[in-house]
Structures are given as C-alpha cells and as structure tokens.
Amino acid sequence: MSARRFRAAVATGILTTGLLVGGWTSGSADAATRTWYVKAGATTTTGSAARPFGSLTQVERASRAGDTIVVLPAPRALDGGIRLKTGQTLRGSGPSVRTAGATAPRLTNTTTRLSGDAVRVADGTTVTNLRITDARRGAVYGVNVSGVRIAGNDVSGQNADCIDGYLIPPFMAPTNLPGVGIPISHGLQNGWAGIMIDASTRRGLAVTVTGNLVHDSTCGDGIDVRLSGTATGTATITDNEIRSLRQGKGFESVLAIGLQARDSARVRGLVHRNSQALLGNPDDLNLAVAGADSEGVFLNAVGAAHLTATVTHNTYTNVHGWGGFSANGLEAVTMGSGARLDVLVQDSSFSGSPGDVIEHGGLGTDAVMTMTLERVVAERSTGIGNTVLLPFNNGDCVLAGSLGARNTIRLAVRDSVLRGCANNGLSLGSNVVNGTGPTTEITATIDDSTITDNRGSNIGVRNFTALDKLSVRVQRTDISRAGSIGSGVADFSAEDLGSTKSHVIDIGGGPLGSVGHNCLVGGLLAADVVRYDVSARHNWWGQPNGPGLLRTLALGGVLDTTSPVTSSPCADQSRLP
C-alpha cells in the first residue's frame, strides 16, 4: 500500500488491528459497496468472496451499518444467529432457495444467543434468499424496527424449543343460553412465529414480508405482526406460502398469518396473494373437539386499538379437514373494550375448515367492526354441524355477530359464494355474554351472491339477548336448497329469542330498498320467522304464485311474500359435486 493510500485509510477509519476491512485486502469485495461473504465451514478470515468468513459472529463483528452480507451456499447451516445493523442487507447467494437443492445458503440458531433467533433485524434491513431451518425460536425477528424487508426466504422448523409467542387474550366464549358464556381465562397461547415483528413504542413502523415459504413446524406460527402500547405502522404481507404448521403440545392455537393491535396501537395490514394449507395436526381427524385451533388469517384488535386489514387474492385450503372444531380460514375478532376493526376481503377463497370458514365477531365490549366480502368464496366446511349448545364454530360458511355489550357489527357480502357448509351459509347473531347492556347494532347487506346447499339455513339471523338495532338487506341472491339439520332450518331464517328494540329486515320490497329477486327454492322451509317482521316481496319461490303450502313459518311476526316474480332470476345451478 502506498503512503498516500495508507494515510487515507487511517483518515477514514477503515484500518483495523490485524485486519484491513471493507475491500482493501487483495481479493476482497469493492470498498465502495462494503460487501462481506460468509460460508459455513470456511476457515479464512478476510470476508471476501474468495476467502469468506466461516461464522456469523465474524461477519457480524466486521460489518458496519449499511453493509451487505452474502451467505454462500454450503451443505450445512451457519449456526449461532446474527444481529443486523441499521441498513444492512443479508442475502443468500445463488438461485432461489425455494427451488434450490440441499446445497443452499443456510442459517440456523441452536444456541441461546439472541434468544434463539436466527436473524435479528434492525431499521432499514433486508433479509432475502436464505434457507433458515430449525431455529430454537424465530427465523427472523424484529422489535420496534421500521423499513424492514423480508423476502424470498425458505423458513422451516421454527421454534424448536416451543417458546410462547402470539397470545390471544382471555375472553368469554358464548353459548346458546342467553347471557351465559364459557370463560377462556388464560387466553389462547400460540408458539413463536417463523417471521415475527413486534412494536410497542415505534411510530410509523413499516415492514414488508414477501415471497417467503414458511412450512413444516411442529410448534410455531407462520408470520405474525404484533403492535401494542403506542406503536403505529403498516405491515405488507404478500405472496407468501404457509403450510404444514402444527399446534405444539401445550399450545392452544396455531396461526399461518396473524395481525394484532393492542392497547392504543394502530395497525394497517395489506395481506395480498398469500396461501395457507395443511394447518393443524393429522390426529385432529380423531379429535373433532380437542384438536388444533388452526387459523389461516387471524386479525385481532384488543382494547382501544385500531386494526385495518385488506385481504386480497388469498387462498386457504384444508383438504384433509385438519384442526379442531375452532379451526377457521379467516377470523377477525375484537376483545377488551373499545376496539376498532375494519376488514376488506376481495377475490379470495377459503375452503374445508372444520370450524366456521370466516368469522367476524365482537368478543369484547364497545367495539365497532366492519367486514366487507367482495368476490369471495367460502365453502365446504367439514365440521360436525350444529352443536345446539354453541352459536359459533358449527361449520358456518360465514359467521358475524356480537358477544359483548354495546358492540356495533357491520357486514357486507357482494358477488360472493357461500356454499356447501356443514351448518349455515351466513349466520348473523347477538348473545351478550361480555359486559352489561345490549348490543348496539347488527347490520348486514347481501347483494348479487350465491348462498346455497348448506346443511343448516342458508341465511340465519338469531338474537338471544338485548339488541338495539338490527338491519338486514338481501337482494339478487340465490339462497336455495338449505339442508335438513338444526333448529329453524330454512333458506332464510330470522328469530328473535331475546329483545330487539328496532329492526328492519328487507329481502325484497321493504324500507331498505331491496329489489328482491332472491331465489328461495328447495330448502326444508323457504322462510322461517320468529318475532320479526320481514319484507320478502318480489322473490322467486319455485312457482309463479309465491311460496307453496307449508313452505313458510311465521310465529309472532309478519312475513310479507306478496308480489312474487313469476320466473327465476337466479342462474340455473346444480348441486355441488
């Protein structure tokens, strides 16, 4: 090295005792880019591509903020975990690890360092194209960080030590006895996730988790983002495949994708083009009640928190029926007091869960919840059907309801298909078992949809306790061929078993402006009404002059079926195969 270059090195602080770093030694990377290389089994100490480091500890000590660390493919994994510095990129060299063979850039952490996490991220870091296997805790974890991108990794065997992770807080589960609940006093404990981000104080958090494969864990969730305290932020979770996750011994739940906001946190989530499959345990097939509580997408707002989530182009499948009776494709729930939860689901499909396929429920009090389903298919639940004792997880295609005082629950279903489920196609209900006082509001609008061939009612509305306001509008929807199980089974059923202060149910020609044009054909009953008035004009009942003899039932309420349409407005549909 010339004297001039030596003086420059000293001035910039890149000459260190025993090691010239940042690309100054022969064969090292370009100093301007500060790229370091590491490979399992290497015995060299310069960190260049030709002479890579042999351990994560070496490359962590040598690298600085903003550097790039390249993991070279090797037959075995680099062990011990790595803590990234601000702005660093950690990437695996070579082809995509999602398609590469056994020799790939691999990481793990079988030690107690970093609490067993394989990668601990910092602000502005990127983790990409790594195969991360069998970490004692998480594959990638960050707390109060922002600008993080986790992309294109293959994660498996996470949480090998079965460490507690995502906690669903304590709540009171309802029964079909008015005002009577079942306390879940310790909540539902999940295992640590393969990819997890936590924040309690960070404002403006932003994290992107994209293109990852998370699979084959016996004790861990897939991808979880949890904000609490005063944290605010956005989580973008796109193009990930999550499959073959088991509920570990001692846990009560397993989540493929979980978003949670607690305290006064504010979270916005974009969940786009993800898939979930094979969640739960194979022996769940023999444990219909005690099996795994597996969830495809779980959205949870607790206390005064606000969670807004958009779920698009999601695919959830459960072809084996794994999971217990509480396994769901998508579940959105509030707990505590004062939560706000807004969910938009578009162009997505959910199929085969043993529990309700989609749930939208206020378990706490004073919550405002909205869910919109547009071009969504929810179908073929495999549960045991109507348990009689419980109003939830009977295998409904979609369940929306309030289980707490002063909740407002709003649901919109447009251009969607809810079919072939073990119980109801769409259930709307209220049974206050948390807090005192009535549910404030249950509102549902259903347009241009197909809700058919369900074993219970295709649309069922039931109130058990006090409800201030009920508003239901249905139009241009096929609600034919309800099955033959459960109470009040009908193509359309509405029953007030408690007290409703104000209600408007318009499935045609009523004050909510429904045009009718619904089809109610082939069910055990076409319509069943108990203590509610229902406007059901301008509909097709299978014959030009309205419903036939014994095809409707009205007790303590009025069912107006006048002015029927004289031909079917619904597309000709055969039964499901």
pLDDT tens readout for residues 303-352:
999 999 999 999 999 987 777 778 999 999 999 999 999 999 999 999 99
Assigned domain for 536 exists:
yes
Do 167 and 256 lie in one domain? The reply is yes
Neighbouring residues of 439: CB distance < 8 A, sequence distance ≥ 6: 362, 402, 404, 405, 406, 407, 409, 430, 432, 465, 466, 467, 468
413 and 514 both lie in a single domain: no
Residues 509 and 396 in one domain: no
Residue 168, domain member (yes or no):
yes
Q: Which residues contact 559 (CB under 8 A, 6 or more apart)?
A: 527, 529, 533, 534, 536, 552
How far, in Å, CA of 400 to CA of 409, rounded? 7
Domain-located, residue 553: yes
Do 205 and 353 reside in the same domain of the chain?
yes
- pLDDT, mean over the chain: 90
* Per-residue model confidence (pLDDT) at position 196: 98
Q: What is the CB neighbour count within 10 angstroms for residue 72?
A: 20
Residue 68, classed as helix, strand or coil, is strand
Reference 394, options 469, 479, 470, 460; nearest CA is 460
The span from the CA of 348 to the CA of 296, in Å, is 12
Least confident stretch, 60-74, 310-324, 407-421, 546-560: 310-324
| 12 within a domain of the structure (yes/no) | no
Residues 416 and 475 in one domain: no
Q: Are residues 494 and 568 in the same domain?
A: yes
What string of DSSP letters covers 114-143?
GGG-SEE--TT-EEES-EEE--SS-SEEEE
Residues 425 and 460 in one domain: no
Residues 406 and 554 reside in one and the same domain: no
Q: Which residue has the higher pLDDT, 42 or 386?
A: 42
410 and 365 inside one domain: yes
Residue 144 lies in a domain: no
327 and 214 inside one domain: yes
C-alpha–C-alpha distance, residues 440 and 37, integer Å: 60
Range of the domain at 480: 456-577
Last residue of a domain, one of 370, 399, 434: 434
Q: Is the pLDDT assigned to residue 485 strictly greater than 70?
A: no
Q: Is residue 97 part of a domain?
A: no
Confidence of residue 483 (pLDDT cuts 50, 70, 90): confident
How many C-beta atoms surround the C-beta of residue 394 within 10 A?
28
- Boundary-marking domain end, from 402, 434, 466: 434
Quick one: 373 and 506 in the same domain? no
Mean pLDDT (whole number) for 475-494: 83
104-131 pLDDT, tens digit each: 999 999 999 999 999 999 999 999 999 9
pLDDT of residue 249: 82
pLDDT digits (tens, 9 = 90+) for 162-188: 999 888 887 777 777 888 877 777 888
Q: Report the number of distinct structural domains present in the chain.
A: 2
Residue 344 domain flag = yes
pLDDT of residue 2: 43
* Same domain flag for 480 and 416: no
This prediction's pTM: 0.92
Domain boundary among 434, 467, 495: 434
The answer to whether residue 514 sits within a structural domain is yes
